[in-house]
Structure 1
Amino acid sequence: MKTRNSVPALRKATASALLATLLLLGCGGGEKPADLLNQAKEALQKNDHKTAVIQLKNALQQDQQLAEARFLLARALLAGGDPAGAEVELRKAQELNYSVEQITPLLARTLLMMGQADKVIKDLANAPLATAEARADLQTSIGQAYLLQDKPQQAEAAYAAALAAQPGYAPALIGEARLKATGGDLPGALVILDRGLQDSPRLYEAWQLKGDLLQAQGDGAGAMAAYRKAVEVKPDYLAGHAAIMRQQLAENQLDAAAQQLATIKQFAANHPQTHYLTAMLAYQKKDYPAARDAILLMLRVVPDNPLGLQLAGLIEYELKAYPQAEDYLLKALPKTPELGIARRVLIASYLRDGKPAKALALIEPVLGKIDKDSNMLALAGQVFLQNGQVDKAGQYFAKAAALDPQNAGKRTSLAMVNLARGDTDTAFRDLEQVAAADPGNRADLALITAHLQRRAFDPALKAIAALEKKQPENPLVYNLRGTALLGKRDVAGARKSFEQALALNAAYFPAAANLASLDMADKKPDEAKKRFEAVVAKDPKSTQGYLALAELRSRTGGKTEEVATLINRAIAANPQEPAPRLALIGLYLGKNEVKSALAAGQDAVAALPDRPEILDAAGRAQQAAQDYNQALATYGKLAALKPDLPLPYLRMAEIEVAAKNKPAALENLRKALQVQPNSLEAQRGIMMLELDAGRTAEAIVVAKEVQKQRPKEAIGYLFEGDAQAALKNWPAAIAAYRVGLKEAGGPDVAAKLHLALASSGNLSEADSFAAGWLKENAKDTRFRFYLAGHATARKDYATAARHYRVLLEAQPENAIVLNNLAWVGAQTKDPKALEYAEKANRLVPNQPAQMDTLAVLLMDKGDTQRALELFRQALELAPQAAVIRVNYARALIKAGQKGEARKQLDEVAKLGDKFPAQAEVAELQKGL
């Protein structure tokens, strides 16, 4: 029966559809494009955008060259929430030579809605417009674009230009108010709005912004009243309705928000903002699949909208789809606040996904800006901990704690403050209680970090076991356990824990790095190499893996080309990451391959033109190539990009000194001080240039200013003492150092005072001071290390050896102490000198200075072949080390290889004044 009845029904439906189509064709065909255009204009006046779109498309179907229809269609599409479609129609209207006065302002608003503030500024900022209204409209959009880019000065100028074109222009006044609010002057912003609303009470956008400002000041009721007033003036004002709904969501009034959303859908069901609000509501209800569906609808229309991208990232994060979250958040990051939610969630996503290096790369650029943000400080603590930097992690956990110790909801912070104060029993008890009750891991990590910092490895292991119960699948747990077991010298247990971490995540770099370190200690570089190869096999985009392979190749004697190849693989895998590009520039600069460094710098700037660290590295390469003009231009760009940084001016001063333009150097140092009035580098530089010019009084003034700025620190007195020492005014230098020692103490001041006493000719008082200092500060290794170096410089090798032996007793595995003891031991004919040098090279292999010491000693012992090979390896690692090259030449002469010795000496001779011992080189050349 169903089959029989369905056939006539189908035929009837088909006939009806055909009839309807014929009727539609008949109606459309009977109206002229001009009539359709007029009907569309009437619909637009009534805010009936849907009807306008239909009529305009019908008109264009008959005549595609109707420029006005293209323009009006763009207006209708933009009002209906389709900026991408609006842009297409505006471009077509441009091709048809429609009025620039009308197209340009509307195009600017369209691009802003699509999140393309940069395009507005680049393409439209200088557009010549004749009418005052068009100029005011465009300049207002340009102001908004600059505001989105966090460029308040340029935004202010644009709003001023809009008001100059059309005094009292309401959107520009609103922009000025928004600008004041962005700068923190909320009362001033409200004054501007109230003035505008007094003259124009139906200015619905002003009512909405007033609501936003009242909301920011904590007046929720006043904000809601202002939002309601906005939609009362204009019932279909989407932004006003959205503001009401956002406040309802903020107050967790989900039912009211759902009703508000239903109201919005009555007049803007397909608008991108509606999809965004739908996604927000679903997200807050924790219906993440529905939230994902809604946000995808929004991003189809406005794929570059930063808020949409950010919310999409949050949704994917909650769905544990971390790679997708990363994609969205990385796109949102440059267009959202520097310390906004995109960065925070992206860092958390990297930590959860076992990519702590990426989290570190994101947190490092903002570390100087989070001192008042306890949550970001705590997040930084977690990042450093996951990267194995326990001490730094502890510092950031403590900073987070210090900001809100009285907040009952943050007992972790309070416990960390108690730790900092020394109340360890209370602190650890509180941390243990919080960690036990908290399903998250912040308290656990703070507790573990505190134990590890104090080398309390058994309590740390107990805390790690508690964290394992919460997060048994987290590789961080096992990496922390391995770290604690290493502290207890349980190498086998540590290896097992690190391997457990890698079993959970084969690309988890910290565990691989720890195992590789153990392999290197066991003299198994091939095993270490396999660790990192396994990481990049699992994660072909692992920057850390490639860079670790490069470093390992360098440490095991690899040639520059081999190391560069590995770094270039990291660049190819992650072209937008600065770390591998910086490593490549650093590699070439370290090998004195200036041309290669320049090329790497140019490539890096081309790929990442707005990264400060890349510009700095490129500038250093240009400076090394003595291309001072280009280097100055690069640092000029960095100064424009980061006007709050003293670094570019410090670098420019350094370049000007190298170019022998000391007045320009002084000017740049003063600019650095304008940016950062307490910059020690700038102050030190100014002082040295003043001394160089014979302006002693001015130099002392700088030192006195530092003393005022840092009354509890020794640095100002060090500056004053250094200034007097440069003039060989020893009594004044000694007096300054003594005040510094009294005010702040410390080994640096003690060393300066000892040197000044000795330089003044009062050796007995210097020796007496040194003996007294060491008696009171027996564990001060820095001062003793200084004394050893000072004795070496005086060729008092016996005294130097005595100090180095004391240091070696305290630090038997210190390769630097061993190397230096080997060198002075050779001068005193110590039979253990060679043994010290061998041990230094075993502990830290492939260090050119240590290889040089060992090679010299081997040569003295008659092991010529091994000595020459060590010299060659050392020079491959440090081709710019002229001292090693001279020692190598001596060894070659002794071995009878005079031709090769001549080549080495000629290379050093080319350095001229850059190598101070040219007389010795000339003497050796004469003997060939």
Structure 2
Amino acid sequence: MKNPYPQRPARFRHSRPAFPTALLTLALLAATGCDGLGGASEADYLERADQYMERGDYAAAIIEYRNALREESRAPTRAGLGLAYHHHGQHDNAVSHLERAWHQQEQPDLVLPLARSLFHLNRLEEIEDLDPPAHLTDTEKAEFLSYQALGLVRAGDTESGHERLEQARSLDPGLAILHLTEAEKAFRDGDIEAAFTAVRAALDADEELGAAWSLKGDLKRVEGDVDAALAAYDRSVELRPDQITERLKRGFAHFHLENMEAAAADAEVLRTGAPGHPGGHFLQGMIHFHQDEYDQAQAYLEESLSAARNYRAAMPYLAAIHLENGNLTQAEHQLQRHRALGESTSMTYQLQARIHLERDETDHARRVLANALESRPELTPELGNLLAAVYLETGHTEQGEALLRTSIEEGHATPTMRRMLAQVLVERGEEDEAAAVRESTAGESGNTAEAEAMTHLGAGRYSRALELTREMIADAPDAAQGYNVKGAALLGLDRVEEARLTFQEGLQKVPDSISLAMNLGSLELRMGHRDAATEVFEELQRRQPGHPGSAMRLAGMALSDGRPEQAAEWLEPAIEQAPDQLQPRLIMARAQLAQDRPDAAVETLAQTLERHPEEPEALFAMADVQERRGAPEEAVDPMRRLTSLRPDNATFQFRLARVLAASGAPEESVVALREVLSLNPERMDARQALVRQLSLMGQVDEAREAFGPLEEAGPDLPAVKAQRAWFEARAGDHEAAAKSYSAAIEQQPRREWLAERHQVRMAAGQTEQALSELEEWLQRNPEDPGARHLLGSTLVELGEEESAISTYRVLLARHEDDVIALNNLAWLLRERDNEQALDHARRARDLAPDHSVVLDTLGVVLLYGDQPGEAREVLETAFDDAASTPDIGYNLARARDRAGDSTGARTLLEAILQEGGDFPERNEARALHDQLAR
């Protein structure tokens, strides 16, 4: 890595110092990174890849195999890359490379890994086209046949699937995948009990078979045990974190249990990690839809359709939002699209009927619902309520009563429909029969009013739902649900203040209700009542210490108010109570960063990654924190892991390129930037960074080639002008280069371009203009230490040491711990004011105790102060740390001689002179050696 401190001038001479160029390098260091690692051959990459594979470091192996493939595309190399992806759990990439390797050169050893990756991707139908190699053991062949059997079962060919299953069972009956296939077959046959038995057997054989946990979750959902389903999905996601389907299932389980924060966390992972898949956008849209946040819901639902134009699941909800907003034509358009892609659902029939009702087309509404029930009577529980209500509300009482009676007789009626029939009978004066109908609802539903209210809420009939909540609250005044439903109905009617009072009343009656507290607190926030929201969430914390949802809300408010310490106090118990939840830990890291505690944020994120090692949000947050704390080299690993997880994400690749450049790996940065452009050729920021990096590496022709599209796309952009200036300077046209740099700086003042223009001016001998431009810049930007360093180094180079001393003193007045300024000022004052020079040198040493340049300066200042003993001690350390740098060795020899060790001085001088390298003090070193040898 390039030395970040400036070189000192030649020792004990009054000639001009030798460090201005290094200072210029320092000014550019933040943009350019450090020197690269040098090129490597295909054999080097493959050797490192094999070593990483043996150690189980598959992410690192992937990088080496990819580098090797860029050298030459060989089938064994691509096979190795596919296997590395397979072991790392990146099965999409594994399949891609294993299949390509197979087509390049058939390799029997690839078949089983390929089948395993296809299984993880649920692409089982492709395994059917593979032939098991002869060398497989019985167990391996049974595994392979089980994959094929499972694919056949899922494709509906249960007979052929059964045959393969029996073949597998004859070879090894105890395989987990075999039991999983049995479970899938039983599930599809409707034998839930047998499916459960087989799933248990699969998990007994392999407790880490994620697909078995997923199927267990599906079975639990069928049973109606969503909590148990969620637990199974949790385990499935833990085992297969990159599986979109598993996380989507878990997200919807959280959604149905109204764990909205957890559902949103899964949705966020899906949206950021798989933005091209509609599921994450849809889930986030459903969360907002459930919370009556229709504008946000619409945005996410539309995003899901952008990801997959024919994603039917989103269409009815978009139609419902358009209907709610009065956009009947758009609502109908979404329903038509849904209908064109498959069979209508109870929801779409309801929505279509509601559109007709909004248009006062009651006959059309009746026909839609009646035709639906005629062809699909099983939908009576979902549609019968609405059709009966339409009949009754439009005066068609006989038809409504007939529908209700028929539904009851055929066993399709809901408790709400029975209540509607009872109401018809009461209005006709038939009290006895009405009472009998009401009595028949007993035991069918724990709360028929609640069921009916929820029906009306779902259909947007908020007034009717509101009426029913009176009965719900009267029947159960100490239950939270009545107040929750009433508040929701009032919000639907846009009676926000009444909804707020309802939630408050409910919370007074049921003070321990988490749902009421969260609803009230969220509504207070929505209304802008931050103090009231804080009070609600704080009370919830008192009753439920560490409750994650309210803790995150409180922490979020504290952060936005600039109180990160308080945010951290709220989050600590939440993390303790829910240690596996991702979001509280991520918010905690933000709070710690806001407290200027980056090391604590790193520790928090490290603990997060121990629990979520392949969580994109956590990896990205870790890289971000490491960059902010000035440790880009520590950001490289999380970004490598992130790009390995998401190799097709251009944004992640670009961030990797940035940290590689900043950490001193320009060649690897270039590789990453080229990867960005291969993923998205239109990313001009990546092309600009590539041109810049190639330029700094001296690869002018390649830089010019990459610059072409950039210049064509934006010839007047300041970055383009600055890059054009670089090419002009490289060609020796200093006048044109300075002009181009000035034009770029005028549009966008950047110190980096200032430094490069300065270098051009100096090369052209335009010293006065170079200094004038620096001084003008510092008048406008007096707090810019980099520009002032550049001025100081230039003044030293010009021999204007008094002015340089003044410049460094101004720097230290503004930045008292600037090590470079302390070091350089100490050197300049070594003879003028040795006592002050020594003070500056010691302060620099205290701030950078391990840096050989700073130690060397201190040693020289001590020599000028006639303290050869301490000077020798300091310079011995500097020489050891600097890997025997000859100029430091020369100063050490002088110190040894001055301290009375002439033999040690002569021996050292012989060694550094024999190495043959050039250094500024070589002649002085030769003269001293000859003097000591006499």
- TM bucket (normalised to shorter chain) is 0.3 to 0.5
TM-score normalised by L of structure 1: 0.46
TM-score normalised by L of structure 2: 0.45
Q: Which has the higher contact order (CA 8 A, sep 6+)?
A: 2
Higher-Rg member (1/2): 2
